[in-house]
C-alpha cells in the first residue's frame, strides 16, 4: 500500500491500481474501520475502486497521526463483507436507451443481444461518485464494452443506465453525461431525506431485470412496478416552499448573475458521491459572519460578478465582504467589511464590479433555509441545499435565523464592527500566484511536468465555474494511458490529455478520472476564488510548514474581529 499527502488537508492510501473485487473489499473495509475510530479533526473518509482518502482539518488534526491511523487500519481492518443484492428494473432501447443500437454496432450483435448480455451478470458497486448516489459498477462483458461518447450529452434523464468501457452506472438525476445510454430504471438512486440517502453502497451487488413498458414519459413511468419503496424517477429532494407567515425574511428583487446560499459545506457524505460545496472564498464568508456576530458556519449569500437586489423586511445588521461590487443601501454607499444596520424596507443593491469575483452578504442570525444532509450549502449540479438546490430567483423569500445575544446588545447601542486593513480579504490584481503542494497522483508524472507547471503562465478561461477553472496557456506533459477514477480534492490541479490544467474548486465532484499533479494550499484558495476569466495564474511550490503557517495566520482574522 502506498500512502501520500494530497495537499495540506487530505491523505490518500492506494492499493494495487486495478478494478478487482478483492482489492475493493479491502479499501471498503479500511474506510469502515477508520470511520469507527472517530479521529479528531477528520472530516470525511472516502473509498474508491482501489484507494482510501482521509480529508481533515489541518489545524485540528496532525498529518502524521492521520498517516499512522491509515497504516494501522490497513494492517488491522478485515475486508468488507458482501453487501446487499439490489434488483434494478430496466427498460432497454428506444427513448429510454438511445445508444443501445450504437453499442450493438460496436459489439457486432443485435440490440436485443446487448440487453441480454447486460442482464446476464451481477455487478459489484465499487464506489459512488460524479453525482450523489451514482454507482460505478463492473464489469460488463468484453463483447459489449463501449467507449464513452465523443460528445457528452447536455441532458441525460434521471434513471438512465449507461456503459463506459467495462463499467456500467445509473444517473441518479438529470445531468450532463458522456456514457452510452442503453436503458432506464424507475428507481430513485438518491433521496436526501431517506436513511440511508443512497440506494447503493460500495460493496453492494446489483442485478438488472427487465421492466415492463417505457419510462420515457411521466405517465408511463408512474405505471412501472419496481418492487421497491424507492420507485419513481424523482429528484429525491423535497422543495423548500415559502417560509411560514411572520418569519423574518429578506426578499430577492433581482437575483444577480449567480447568487447562492452557502455555509461551510456538506462534509461527511463524499463516500456517497455528495460534493462538499460551500463558499469559494472561505475567508470572506467567515469575515462576513464575524462582523455580524454569527458563528462561522452560518449561511451567507455568495454573489458572483453581478450582485443581487435584496429588500430587507425588518431591521437587520448586514455585512458585505469579498469582491468589490459597489454595495449600497437605499442609494447610499455601504462600506465593505463593515457591519451596517438596515431598517425595514431598505434595499441592498450592487453596482459595477471593481475587483474580485465573489462578494458575501451576511445578516445577523444567518440565512435559515432548510438544511439538507446537515448543511445549507447550495450545490447546483446535485440540486442540494439553499432554495431547492438552485441559484436565487426574483421573488424568493429568504428566512433569517435569530441574532446572537451580543448582536442584540449592539443593536441597542447602534454600533457596528469593521475590519482593519490588515484583515481584509486579498483581491487579485489582474492575476495571482498560487502556492502548491504535490498532488495525489504526482508520481504519475515525470519531473518535466512539475517544471512546466511552475514555468507556465495560465489564463482563467470563460469555461470556468464553481466546479473548476479551465486554464489556457503552456501545456503540461500528461501521463500516458487512462487513470482509474479516483478521489479529487479541492484545489487539485488536474492534467487532462490536452495538457491544459484544470483547477478544481468548491463544487468539485468527489471523484474524477484525470490525475492531479499538484494541490493549491488552503490559504491560497480564497485568492483563487476571486479570479475572473481573463486573469492570469502562476503556480509555485511551497512546503507543508509554509502552507500551515499561512493557514494559521488566515484563521486568526475572524477571531481578531470577534
pLDDT at res. 218: 43
- Whose cell is 467589511? That residue is 337
pLDDT of residue 513: 87
216 and 110, same structural domain? yes
Cell numbers describing residue 1: 500500500
Angle at which helix 544-561 crosses helix 282-291, to 10 degrees, equals 20
Residue 561 has pLDDT above 80, yes or no: no
How far apart, in Å, are the Cα atoms of 452 and each of 246, 383, 456, 477, 500? 59, 38, 6, 8, 11
Least confident of 40-49, 152-161, 450-459, 477-486: 477-486
- Do residues 454 and 417 share a domain? no
State the average pLDDT over residues 159-165.
96
Inside any domain, residue 238: no
In the prediction, which pLDDT does 212 show? 77
Do 461 and 484 sit in the same domain of this protein? yes
Q: What is the structure's pLDDT at 217? A: 44
Same domain, 197 and 98: yes
Q: How far apart are CA 509 and CA 381, in angstroms?
A: 10
Mean local confidence (pLDDT), 60-88:
95
Query: Is residue 228 pLDDT above 50, yes or no?
Result: no
Residue 411 forms part of a structural domain: yes
Segment 397-444, tens digit of pLDDT: 999 999 877 655 555 556 567 766 556 778 998 999 999 999 999 999
Asked if the model's pLDDT at residue 95 lies above 90, the reply is yes
Distance CA 519, CA 438 (A): 6
Q: What is the pLDDT of residue 426?
A: 81
Q: Which of 4, 1, 83 lies closest to 441, judged by CA? A: 4
Q: Is 533 exposed, middle or buried (0-12, 13-18, 19+ CB in 10 A)?
A: middle
Tell me the H-state helices in 492-543: 525-529
The answer to the question of residue 362 being in a domain is yes
Q: What share of the chain has pLDDT > 70, as a percent?
A: 91
pLDDT at 225: 31
For residues 38 and 172, membership in a common domain is answered with: no
Confirm whether 234 is domain-assigned.
Answer: no
Q: What is the pLDDT of residue 243?
A: 81
What's the predicted TM-score (pTM) here? 0.91
Among the three residues 174, 203, 221, which one is the final residue of a domain in this structure? Answer: 221
DSSP reduced 3-state for 388? coil
Last residue of a domain, one of 56, 76, 96: 76
> For 527-537, what is each residue's pLDDT tens digit?
999 999 999 99
Give residue for cell 440490440.
111
For the cut 80, the answer to whether the pLDDT of residue 49 exceeds it is yes
Q: Report in angstroms the alpha-carbon separations of 163 from 102, 132, 198.
A: 11, 18, 20
Confidence (pLDDT) at 216: 53
Compute CA 32 distance to the chain's CA centroid, rounded to the nearest angstrom. 22
Rounded to the nearest 5 percent, the helix, strand and coil shares of the chain are: 20, 30, 50
What is the SS3 string spanning 306-367? Answer: CCCEEEECCCEEEEEEEEECCEEECCEECCCCEEEEECCCCEEEECCCCEEEEEEEEECCCE
Q: Which of 64, 76, 82, 58 is nearest to 1 (CA)?
A: 76
At residue 245, the pLDDT reads: 76
Where does the pLDDT of residue 316 fall: very low under 50, low under 70, confident under 90, or very high at 90 and above? very high
Whether 112 has a pLDDT exceeding 50, the answer reads yes
For the chain, report the end-to-end CA distance as a whole number of angstroms: 45
Peptide bond into 385 cis (omega under 30): no
- Pairwise CA distance, residues 142 & 137, whole Å: 14
166 with 34, same domain: the answer is no
Question: Is 228 within the bounds of a domain?
Answer: no
281 shares a domain with 215:
no
- Containing H/E element for 471? strand 468-473
Mean pLDDT of 164-183: 95
Q: What is the pLDDT of residue 236?
A: 43
What CATH number is attached to the domain comprising 163?
2.40.100.10
pLDDT digits (tens, 9 = 90+) for 471-502: 999 899 999 888 888 999 999 999 999 999 99
C-alpha cell at 191: 433521496
Q: DSSP for 178-202? A: -SEEEEE-----B-TTSSSSBS--T
Quick count: other Cβ atoms within 10 Å of Cβ 510? 27
What per-residue confidence (pLDDT) applies to 515?
94
Q: Is residue 72 part of a domain?
A: yes
Q: pLDDT by residue (tens digit) across 275-295?
A: 999 999 999 999 999 999 999
Assess whether 371 and 316 both reside in one domain: yes
- C-alpha–C-alpha distance, residues 513 and 17, integer Å: 13
What is the pLDDT at residue 239? 53
The verdict on residue 243 lying in a domain is: no
The DSSP secondary-structure symbol of 522 reads G
The enclosing domain of 37 has a CATH number of 3.30.1360.40
Q: Which residues contact 272 (CB under 8 A, 6 or more apart)?
A: 128, 132, 133, 190, 196, 197, 198, 201
pLDDT grade, residue 234 (50/70/90)?
very low
Q: State yes or no: pLDDT of 223 exceeds 80.
A: no
Which pLDDT tens digit goes with each residue over 14-30?
998 899 999 999 999 99
Total domains, the chain: 4
Q: What is the SS3 assignment for 176?
A: strand
Cα 122 from Cα 113, distance rounded (Å): 17
> Is 446 found in the same domain as 330?
no
Q: Which pLDDT tens digit goes with each residue over 321-341?
A: 999 999 999 999 999 999 999
Give me the pLDDT at residue 560, please: 56
Q: What is the pLDDT of residue 373?
A: 97
- Within a domain: 229: no
Average pLDDT over residues 197-203: 97
Domain containing residue 103: 85-221
Q: What is the pLDDT of residue 481?
A: 81
Rounded mean pLDDT of 495-513? 94
Let me know whether 454 and 403 are in one domain. Answer: no
pLDDT averaged over every residue in the chain: 91
Cell triple for 12: 490518500
CB 360 within 8 A of CB 284: yes
Band of pLDDT at residue 559, cut at 50, 70 and 90: low
Whether 274 and 410 map to the same domain: the answer is yes
> Given a cut of 70, is residue 182 above it in pLDDT?
yes
Q: How many whole angstroms separate alpha carbon 99 and alpha carbon 490?
A: 34
Long-range contacts, stretch 59-68, CB < 8 angstroms, 24+ apart: 59/548, 59/551, 59/552, 59/555, 63/5, 63/11, 63/544, 65/39, 66/11, 66/39, 66/42, 67/3, 67/11
Written as nine digits, the cell of 468 is 473548476
Does 139 sit behind a cis peptide bond, omega within 30 degrees of 0 on the bond before it?
yes
**Each residue's pLDDT tens digit, 338-385:** 999 999 999 999 999 999 999 999 999 999 999 999 999 999 999 999
Q: Out of 45, 76, 107, pick the residue that ends a domain.
A: 76
Let me know whether 213 and 268 are in one domain. Answer: no
347, three cell numbers: 434595499
* Strand, helix or coil for residue 29: helix
C-alpha cell belonging to residue 145: 464494452
Question: How far is the C-alpha of 176 from the C-alpha of 465, rounded, in Å?
Answer: 15
Amino acid at each position: 500500500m502506498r500512502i501520500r499527502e494530497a495537499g495540506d488537508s487530505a491523505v490518500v492510501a492506494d492499493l494495487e491500481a486495478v478494478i478487482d473485487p478483492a482489492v475493493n473489499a479491502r479499501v471498503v473495509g479500511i474506510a469502515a474501520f477508520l470511520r469507527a475510530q472517530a479521529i479528531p479533526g477528520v472530516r470525511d473518509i472516502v473509498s474508491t475502486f482501489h484507494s482510501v482518502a482521509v480529508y481533515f482539518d489541518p489545524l485540528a488534526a496532525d498529518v502524521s497521526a492521520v498517516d499512522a491511523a491509515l497504516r494501522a487500519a490497513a494492517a488491522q481492518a478485515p475486508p468488507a463483507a458482501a453487501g446487499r443484492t439490489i434488483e434494478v428494473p430496466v427498460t432497454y432501447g428506444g427513448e429510454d436507451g438511445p445508444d443501445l443500437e450504437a453499442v450493438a454496432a460496436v459489439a457486432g450483435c443485435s440490440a436485443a443481444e446487448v440487453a441480454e448480455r447486460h442482464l446476464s451478470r451481477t455487478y459489484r458497486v465499487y464506489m459512488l461518485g460524479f453525482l450523489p448516489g451514482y454507482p460505478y459498477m463492473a464489469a460488463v462483458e468484453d463483447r459489449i464494452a463501449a467507449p464513452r461518447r465523443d460528445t457528452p450529452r447536455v441532458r441525460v434523464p434521471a434513471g438512465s443506465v449507461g456503459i463506459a468501457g467495462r463499467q456500467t452506472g445509473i444517473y441518479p438525476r438529470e445531468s450532463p453525461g458522456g456514457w452510452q445510454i442503453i436503458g432506464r430504471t424507475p428507481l430513485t438512486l438518491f433521496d436526501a431525506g431517506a436513511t440511508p440517502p443512497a440506494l447503493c453502497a460500495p460493496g453492494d451487488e446489483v442485478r438488472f431485470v427487465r421492466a415492463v413498458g417505457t419510462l420515457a414519459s411521466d405517465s408511463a413511468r408512474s405505471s412501472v412496478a419496481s418492487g421497491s419503496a424507492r420507485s419513481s424517477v424523482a429528484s429525491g429532494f423535497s422543495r423548500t416552499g415559502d417560509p411560514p407567515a411572520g418569519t423574518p425574511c429578506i426578499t430577492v428583487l433581482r437575483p444577480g448573475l449567480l447568487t447562492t446560499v452557502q455555509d461551510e459545506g456538506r462534509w461527511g457524505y463524499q463516500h456517497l458521491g455528495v460534493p462538499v460545496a460551500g463558499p469559494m472564498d472561505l475567508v470572506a464568508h467567515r469575515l462576513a459572519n464575524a462582523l455580524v456576530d454569527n458563528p462561522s458556519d452560518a449561511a451567507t449569500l455568495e454573489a458572483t460578478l453581478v450582485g443581487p437586489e435584496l429588500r430587507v423586511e425588518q431591521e437587520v445588521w448586514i455585512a458585505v465582504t469579498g469582491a468589490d461590487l459597489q454595495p449600497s443601501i437605499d442609494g447610499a454607499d455601504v462600506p465593505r467589511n463593515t457591519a451596517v444596520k438596515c431598517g425595514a424596507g431598505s434595499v441592498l443593491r450592487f453596482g459595477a464590479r471593481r475587483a474580485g469575483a465573489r462578494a458575501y452578504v451576511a445578516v445577523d442570525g444567518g440565512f435559515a433555509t432548510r438544511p439538507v444532509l446537515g448543511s445549507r450549502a447550495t450545490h447546483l449540479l446535485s440540486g442540494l441545499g439553499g432554495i431547492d438546490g438552485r441559484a436565487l430567483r426574483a421573488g424568493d423569500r429568504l428566512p433569517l435565523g435569530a441574532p446572537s445575544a451580543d448582536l442584540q446588545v449592539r443593536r441597542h447601542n447602534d454600533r457596528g464592527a469593521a475590519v482593519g486593513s490588515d484583515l481584509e480579504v486579498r483581491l487579485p490584481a489582474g492575476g495571482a500566484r498560487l502556492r502548491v503542494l504535490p498532488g495525489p497522483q504526482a508520481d504519475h508524472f515525470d519531473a518535466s511536468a512539475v517544471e512546466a507547471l511552475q514555468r507556465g503562465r495560465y489564463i482563467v478561461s470563460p469555461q470556468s465555474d464553481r466546479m473548476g477553472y479551465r486554464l489556457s496557456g503552456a501545456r503540461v506533459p500528461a501521463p500516458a494511458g487512462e487513470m482509474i477514477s479516483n478521489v479529487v480534492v479541492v484545489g487539485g490541479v488536474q492534467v487532462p490529455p490536452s495538457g491544459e490544467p484544470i483547477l478544481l474548486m468548491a463544487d468539485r465532484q468527489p471523484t474524477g478520472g484525470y490525475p492531479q499533479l499538484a494541490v493549491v494550499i488552503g490559504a491560497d484558495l480564497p485568492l483563487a476564488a476571486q479570479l475572473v476569466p481573463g486573469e492570469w495564474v502562476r503556480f509555485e511550490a511551497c512546503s507543508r510548514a509554509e502552507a500551515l503557517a499561512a493557514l494559521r495566520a488566515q484563521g486568526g482574522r475572524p477571531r481578531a474581529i470577534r
